Amino acid sequence: MMRLGLSQSLRTEQRLVQSPQMIQAMQVLQMPLMELKDQVEQELQENAFLERKDETENSETALATPPQEQPIEDRLHRELSAEMDQLEARLEPTWRNRAGSYSGDDEDKKLEALNNTPGRSTSLPEYLMTQVRTQESEPNLIRVIEHVVYSLDPNGRLAESPEQIAQELAVPIPLAEEAVQVVRDLDPIGVGARDLRDCLLMQLDHMTFVRPLTRTIVENHLDDLAMNRLPKIAKDTGASIEEIVESRDFLRVHCNPHPGSEFSGPAPTGVVPDVVVEEVDGRFEVKTQRGSLPDLSLSPINRNLLQEARKDPKLYEWLRRKIEAAKWFIEAVHQRQNTIERVATEIVRRQEGFLRHGVQHLKPMKMQDIADAVHVHISTVSRAASGKYIQTPQGIFDMKRFFSSGTQSDSGDMVSQQAVKDTLKQIVDAEDKDNPMSDDQLVEELGKRGVHIARRTVTKYRKALGIDSSTRRKTFG
């Protein structure tokens, strides 16, 4: 017989709790140099305990002159007063009622957490992992999900199969399959798809009603639709041209073939290298650049202010938090420089051939390789490389350019995808414009250079480079 009732039980579980300091350190690491400079200036304005090092001596002199302390104390008291006013405003009944509306079940809390996450200007992996941490708590599963998330291409596609992921991470295949399915259930719909057809079908599955013809076109006639062969689709399906056009327009309006592209962020307005690589006595040396970023230090005036505030617990606690915030920000900036230098040094060590001889000698390299070598998480490498540029003897490059998978050449060496793309571009640039090469001919030409890839791969690389088909490249003189 079943008994109904209430009971209590204890359960131990591991959860990763990110402190505000950890979050700030990750944000600082991900910032490009120019953006970090703006953030430093903002912190200097908002925290009187944070100073440029060249101002420290002036602050120490000010300590010996009591009348000069008053303006800083007045500023701190004004800041404290403003902060207390904001706190009291939040405690008004209207605010409490509004906050209470989010205090429903667990799903409401998860939704509230997602509403408080960074906007779409953040990277796709970070946006996905924010959702994962509100849904999953099993550490082993989260580890595999992270691998899947950071393996997605810029459009949100996943090239690796669950079997490949399981083999690479040495985990059971069912665990890898579960991780892939978790990613496929995340927002935006279509992330984790194998290809365009899979991506569109995933999105159609989440719609309330889809005409059978629309699904049939995606499942069986996507290539014909892309080539505008509407009469062929009409003959195969028995539908009219008008009905096919309606389905095509529906797909264009309601589906997104590149669900990850909206996370790419705005293009940089200027390039300032975070790292400079120079050859010294036959060896490559890595130096991180500070640019116009100032050295930061704590203002010495805080010692007197803290001492005087001991009689006022509220003021003392507020001052202590301000000082801690200044310390954490200084540490985050130092940690950023150190992490970028370690990541860049390992990249340079692995890519010496590229530095000496050019992009054709760029080796395949994954972020996980660098993460293992410098003993950090793969997400740390992603943040360290995001939006950062490295100045080399071959020119200035986005650090993420160095990460790509590879193809084996005739010599038995692995050639990176980026090197193959650059070789492909060189071939097209040098072709006879009156008689441009077809993709089959490009396959043959690459083969002469020791690189053998399928025609569909050449087509994919050509499109990624923004190169038109041979028919469109042909010029008429």
Which of 141, 106, 174, 175 shows the shortest CA–CA distance to 13? Answer: 141
Average pLDDT over residues 12-41: 74
Span of 143-147, 246-250, 303-307 with lowest mean pLDDT: 303-307
When pLDDT is cut at 50, 70 and 90, the band that residue 270 belongs to is low
Residue 198: what pLDDT?
Answer: 92
Residue 192: what pLDDT?
Answer: 92
Across the chain, which distance is largest between two alpha carbons, in Å?
A: 92
* Amino acid sitting at position 292: S
Residue 117: what pLDDT?
Answer: 41
Span of 152-156, 182-186, 307-311, 382-386 with lowest mean pLDDT: 307-311
Mapping DSSP onto H, E and C, the string for 50-119 reads EEEHHHHHHHHHHHCCHHHHHHHHHHHHHHHHHHHHHHHHHCCHHHHHHHHCCCCCHHHHHHHHHHCCCC
Span of 16-30, 73-87, 99-113 with lowest mean pLDDT: 99-113
In percent, the amount of the chain with pLDDT more than 90 equals: 10
Contact 294, 53 (CB under 8 A): yes
Report helix, strand or coil for 279.
strand
Find out whether the peptide bond into 188 is cis, omega within 30 degrees of 0. yes
Average pLDDT over residues 30-58: 77
**Ordered DSSP codes for 343-406:** HHHHHHHHTHHHHHH-GGGPPPB-HHHHHHHHT--HHHHHHHHTT-EEEETTEEEEGGGG-B-E
Per DSSP, helices labelled H in 415-454 are 417-430, 439-448
Provide the whole-model pTM. Answer: 0.49
Tell me the C-alpha distance between 133 and 117, whole Å.
Answer: 12
> To the nearest whole number, what is the mean pLDDT of the chain?
76
Report helix, strand or coil for 332.
helix
When pLDDT is cut at 50, 70 and 90, the band that residue 363 belongs to is confident
Tell me the C-alpha distance between 158 and 409, whole Å.
Answer: 24
What torsion, rounded to 10 degrees, do the Cα atoms 80, 81, 86, 91 define? 110
Q: What is the CA radius of gyration of the chain?
A: 28
Calculate ∠ Cα 396-398-402, nearest 5°. 105
